[in-house]
Chains A and B, each alone.
Chain A
Amino acid sequence: MSLRARIDRLVPPEKRQELGDQLQKFASTALDRHVRLAVTGLSQSGKTVFITSLLDHLLSARDSNGLPFFSLCNEDRLLGVKLLPSQGGQEFPFRESMDQLNASPTQWPASTDKLSSIRLAIRYRPGSKVQRMVSETATLYLDIIDYPGEWLLDLPMLQQNFNSWSQQQYRLMAQEPRQSMAKSWLNGAAELDGEAPADQSQITEFSAQYRGLLQGFRRHEQRLSLLQPGRFILPGNLEGSELLQFFPLVKTNSEASQEGSLYAQLEQRFEDYKQQVVEEFYRNHFCHFDRQVVLIDCLKTLNNGRACFDDMQEAVAGILQSFQYGQSGLLRRLFKPRIDRVLFASTKADHVTANQHHNLEQFLELIIQQARRDIQFEGLETRCMAIASYRATGAAEAEVDGQVLSCLKGFRKQNHEPVVLFPGEVPTALPQDKDWSGQRFRFVDFAPPDLKKVRDTPASHIRMDQAIQYLLGDKLR
C-alpha cells in the first residue's frame, strides 16, 4: 500500500484540510515572538526620546525611506506596525511626546517621573522559505518600559547590605567634589551614636538633609550620576513615606546592634526599602529582558570633567551587574529569559560633527570598558554605536583663521536661537587631568528638529536604523 493511501485511511481527506488549518494556526502562533527590550540609561541620557523615536520610525517605516539599513524595510517584508494597549499599568505617553516634538516651537518630551510601558506589534513576512511554508505572516511583539533614570541606580543596592552600602556612600563622600558639599552633614553624622536608642525626629532630620545633599550632587556642575537611593531624588508615589527615611551610617564596633538602636532602625529601613521598593520594581519589570540597549551620554562627561566621567563609569558598571546575561536557548527561555545581545549607544551624536562619530564610539568604549568585559565573558555579542534618536543639527563649514572647520548648526534648546558651533573634537583616549579644560568642548543642547521637514527620510535620525537592525533584525528573519 502506498504511503498516500495509508494516510488516506488514517485521516480522511475532508478531515485533513481542517487538521492542516489547525496545525498551521498552531505553528504560526509558535512563530509569533516576544522581545522585551531593556532601554537602560541614567537620567537625561535620552531614554524617553529613544523610545519615542523607535516607535515613531517603526510606525512609519512601511511607507517611508527613513530606515535604509533596516533589512525588513529593504526587503519589503514589513506588512504593518501597530501600537497595542499596554498590559495593565501606566501607558507610555507616546502621543504626548510626539505632540511635543511637533509643537511649535518644538520641544523635547519632559523628564520622566513614573514608570510606563508600551507594546508594539510588528507584522512581517518571514524571509526564510521554511518559515513561510508554515505561515505567510508572522508577528513580533516588542515590549518596552520607560522609567526615571534615577530609579535605575537602586538596582545595585540589591546586592548590598546596609553596612557595605554605607561604606560605599562614605567612600564617595570622602572624595571631591562631594566632600566639600557634604562636610557639614558628615560632621553631624560623625557625632551620631549608632548604639543609642533611635530618635525618630533625628532620623527624619538627617534623612531630609541627606536627600538635600543628593539633590545638590545632581545639580553640581559636575552633574554626578551615582546617587543612591534613587527615590530620594524622584520619589514617585512614595513622597512622605517612611520608606524614604534613612541615611548611610557606618558601624563603629563589630558587635550586633541592639534592638531599637539607631543603627538597627536604619538597617531595618534600608532592608524595607530594598524589599518593598527595589525588589518589587526589579521583579515586575527588570528580570525578563531579551535585548538591551544601554544609552550613555558621553558628551555630558566631556562637558563636565573627570569626576563626572569616573562617577558615570562606576554607576554604569554597578547597574549592569543587575541584569541577567547569557545565551537564551529555548529551554532556558521558558524558565527565565536572558539578555543575549547588548547595544551600547552613545546618544545625542548629533551634538558632534559627523567626522567625530567614530571617536565618540571609541570614547564610549572607555566608559563601559569594565562592564562590557564582564558581559562579553558571558559570551554575549555587544556593539558600540553613536546614534541620535532625532537629528537636531545640520552640517556646516566655516573658515576660522584660514582654517576650514566642520561645524554644526541648529537651534538652542532654551530659546530656539540659531547656533553655529565648532563643538570640539572627541578624544579617543581618556584626557589627562590638565586637558579637561573648559575651553576644549562645548556641547550645547539643541532644540528638536522640525520633524515635518525631515519626515520619512534618513536625515531625521542618526543610525537609528542600524540600532534597530542590531537589536531586532535577527528576530525578524
Chain B
Amino acid sequence: MSGDEKQRQDWQPAIELNPEQLRDLPNTEEAAVEQVDSGEDKKDTDKSEKNAGLSRIFVAISALLVKLIIIVECYRLVSWGYQQHWSLGTLLSLLIVSVLVMAIVLALRALKGMRQLRRRQPLQQRASQMIASNQYKQAAPLLDEMAEQLKGTALVVPLQQCINEVDSVYRDGEVIRFVSNHGFVEADRKAIDKISRCSFDTAALVAVSPFASFDILLAAWRNWRMLNSIADCYGIAPGIAGQWRLLRQVLHNLAFVGLSELAIDNSGTLLTGSVTGQLTARIGQGLGAGLVTARIGLEAVKLCRPLPFDEGNKPKLSQIQSSLLKELKSKF
C-alpha cells in the first residue's frame, strides 16, 4: 500500500469522470484583455533615471529659474499693457493664458508619446523571450500589458479580435506569434505604405532638385514627418519628445546594429551593376536617399511595434527597394 502511495506522488493516475463533474471554463483569453487595470503603470519608470540625481537637481533649478523669469516678464508685460489701456492689458493676459495652455497641452502630449515609446522596449523583450517558451497559459499578463499600452488607439479593436481567435491549445510562444502575425495587419500595412511613399518622395526630390543642400533639408523634414506617422500607426501619441527619442534610437540602431542585417538583406537584390549602370547619376543619388529613408522607416517600425515580427514575416528592405527602383525608372 505504501509503495502505491509513493507512486501517486510522482504522477496522477488517469481517471475517467462523469460529465456532471465538469466546471465551466473561464475564458482566459478574453478576460486577459478586458481586465485592464491602470494601477500598474508606475512600475516601469526608467531605472536609469535614478542615478542621475545631480544633473536632475541642476535641471530642476534651471527650470525653476527660467520659469521665474518668464513669470516675471509676463507680469511686467501685462501690467505695462494695463497702464496703457485696460483693453490692451486684457488682450495681453488672454494671449499669455492661451499660450500657456497650449504649451502645457503640447508638453503633456510630447511626454505621453515618450512614455509610450519607452514602455515598448521591455514589452518587446518579454515577448521575444516568450516566443521561445514551451509553457502553457502564461501569456495573459503580457497581452494584458500590451492592451493597456494601446488603450484608446485604433489598434485595440483588431487586437482584441485577434486575441479572441487565439486557439485554446496554443502554447505561449504560439500565442505571441499568432497575435504578432494577425493582430497588427492593418497597422503594418499602413506603416509600410507610408515608408514606400516617403522613400519614393525623397528619392524623387533628390533626383530633380538642383540644390544639394536644400534638398537635404527637405528630405530630413520628410523623414521627420514619416517617423511621426509611423509612431502614430502603432498607437504612439505624436510629440516632439517621443519623436526625438525615436530618432535617436533609430540612428543608433542603424549605426551599430543594422549593418550586418543590411548585408544579408542586400545580397539577393537587384542592385547589380547592370541595373545601376543604366541609371543616371541623379537618379542614383535619389535612389540612395530613398533607401536611407526606407531603412529609417523600417527601423522605426521595429521600435514602435508592440510585438516583434515573427520569423519570416519581417518586412524587408529589398521589398521596398525593388518597388522603389521600378517606380523611379518608370517616372524618369
Q: A418 an interface residue at 8 Å Cβ cutoff?
A: yes
List 10 contacting pairs A-B, 8 Å CB cutoff, sorted by A: A130-B270, A354-B170, A355-B137, A398-B21, A420-B18, A424-B12, A425-B12, A435-B10, A437-B13, A440-B14
Kindly list the 5 A-B residue pairs having the minimum CB-CB distance in the complex, ordered from nearest.
A424-B14, A442-B14, A354-B169, A358-B134, A439-B13
Q: Are B19 and A420 in contact (CB under 8 A)?
A: yes
Q: Are A422 and B12 in contact (CB under 8 A)?
A: yes
In the complex, besides A130-B322, A397-B23, A422-B16, 12 extra interface pairs with C-beta distance below 8 angstroms are A68-B182, A71-B312, A391-B169, A396-B22, A398-B17, A398-B22, A420-B18, A420-B21, A421-B15, A422-B17, A459-B167, A459-B168
Q: B84 an interface residue at 8 Å Cβ cutoff?
A: no
B22 partner, pick from A130, A420, A427, beta carbons under 8 A: A420
A427 to B313, CA, bound (A): 35
Q: Are B22 and A395 in contact (CB under 8 A)?
A: no
Q: Which residues of A contact B165 (CB under 8 A)?
A: 65, 68, 458
Q: A399 an interface residue at 8 Å Cβ cutoff?
A: yes
A420 to B319, CA, bound (A): 51
A420 to B21, CA, bound (A): 9
A357 to B14, CA, bound (A): 16
Instruction: Tell me the A121-143 residues at the B interface (CB within 8 Å).
Output: 128-130
Q: B323 an interface residue at 8 Å Cβ cutoff?
A: yes
**Closest partner residue, chain B, to A395 (CB atom):** B168
Q: Are B270 and A422 in contact (CB under 8 A)?
A: no
Q: A407 an interface residue at 8 Å Cβ cutoff?
A: yes
A474 to B25, CA, bound (A): 39
**Closest partner residue, chain B, to A462 (CB atom):** B169
Instruction: Tell me the B23-66 residues at the A interface (CB within 8 Å).
Output: 23, 25
Q: Are A399 and B16 in contact (CB under 8 A)?
A: no
Q: A419 an interface residue at 8 Å Cβ cutoff?
A: yes
**Closest partner residue, chain B, to A421 (CB atom):** B16
Report the interface size for chain A: residues with CB under 8 A from the other chain: 43
Q: Are B25 and A424 in contact (CB under 8 A)?
A: no
Q: B285 an interface residue at 8 Å Cβ cutoff?
A: no
A49 to B134, CA, bound (A): 27
Q: A69 an interface residue at 8 Å Cβ cutoff?
A: yes
A257 to B174, CA, bound (A): 62
A74 to B183, CA, bound (A): 12
A398 to B312, CA, bound (A): 40
B169 partner, pick from A357, A404, A425, beta carbons under 8 A: A357
Q: B210 an interface residue at 8 Å Cβ cutoff?
A: no
A35 to B7, CA, bound (A): 49
B11 partner, pick from A396, A420, A425, A462, beta carbons under 8 A: A425
Q: Which residues of B contact A128 (CB under 8 A)?
A: 268
Q: Are B15 and A68 in contact (CB under 8 A)?
A: no
Instruction: Tell me the B135-181 residues at the A interface (CB within 8 Å).
Output: 136-137, 165, 167-171, 174, 177-178, 181
Q: Are A399 and B23 in contact (CB under 8 A)?
A: yes
A427 to B174, CA, bound (A): 22
Report the interface size for chain B: residues with CB under 8 A from the other chain: 37
Q: B318 an interface residue at 8 Å Cβ cutoff?
A: yes
A398 to B23, CA, bound (A): 5
A82 to B10, CA, bound (A): 51
**Closest partner residue, chain B, to A129 (CB atom):** B322
A200 to B134, CA, bound (A): 60
Binding site for B on A (CB under 8 A): 65, 68-69, 71, 74, 128-130, 354-355, 357-358, 391, 395-400, 404-405, 407, 409, 418-425, 427, 434-435, 437, 439-442, 458-459, 462, 473
Q: Are A395 and B21 in contact (CB under 8 A)?
A: no
Bitwise, B232-273 to A at CB < 8 A (1) or not (0) is 000000000000000000000000000000000000101000
A439 partner, pick from B14, B268, B313, B322, beta carbons under 8 A: B14
**Closest partner residue, chain A, to B319 (CB atom):** A129
Q: Are A74 and B11 in contact (CB under 8 A)?
A: no
Q: Are B171 and A357 in contact (CB under 8 A)?
A: yes
**Contacts A130-B268, A395-B168, A421-B17; is A74 near B313 (CB within 8 Å)?**
yes
Q: Which residues of A contact B134 (CB under 8 A)?
A: 358
Q: Which residues of B contact A355 (CB under 8 A)?
A: 136-137
Most chain A CB inside 10 Å of its own CB: which residue of B14, B134, B182? B14
**Contacts A422-B12, A440-B13; is A397 near B19 (CB within 8 Å)?**
no
A130 to B15, CA, bound (A): 57
Q: Are A129 and B313 in contact (CB under 8 A)?
A: no
A128 to B134, CA, bound (A): 32
Q: Which residues of B contact A409 (CB under 8 A)?
A: 19, 22
B7 partner, pick from A357, A437, A458, beta carbons under 8 A: A437
A419 to B270, CA, bound (A): 60
**Contacts A398-B21, A398-B22; is A69 near B178 (CB within 8 Å)?**
yes
**Closest partner residue, chain B, to A397 (CB atom):** B23
A404 to B19, CA, bound (A): 15
**Contacts A68-B182, A355-B137, A397-B23; is A423 near B313 (CB within 8 Å)?**
no
Q: Are A68 and B17 in contact (CB under 8 A)?
A: no
Q: Are A424 and B21 in contact (CB under 8 A)?
A: no
Q: How far is the CB of A301 from chain B (nearest CB, A)?
A: 15
Bitwise, B296-332 to A at CB < 8 A (1) or not (0) is 0000000000000000110000110011000000000
Q: Which residues of A contact B25 (CB under 8 A)?
A: 395-397
A459 to B170, CA, bound (A): 11
Q: How far is the CB of B199 from chain A (nearest CB, A)?
A: 15
**Contacts A129-B323, A130-B270, A419-B16; is A399 near B21 (CB within 8 Å)?**
yes
Q: Which residues of B contact A74 (CB under 8 A)?
A: 181-182, 313
A407 to B7, CA, bound (A): 21
**Closest partner residue, chain A, to B169 (CB atom):** A354
A62 to B67, CA, bound (A): 63
A435 to B169, CA, bound (A): 28
A399 to B17, CA, bound (A): 10
Most chain B CB inside 10 Å of its own CB: which residue of A68, A355, A399, A423? A68
B168 partner, pick from A354, A399, A427, beta carbons under 8 A: A354
Q: Which residues of B contact A458 (CB under 8 A)?
A: 165, 167
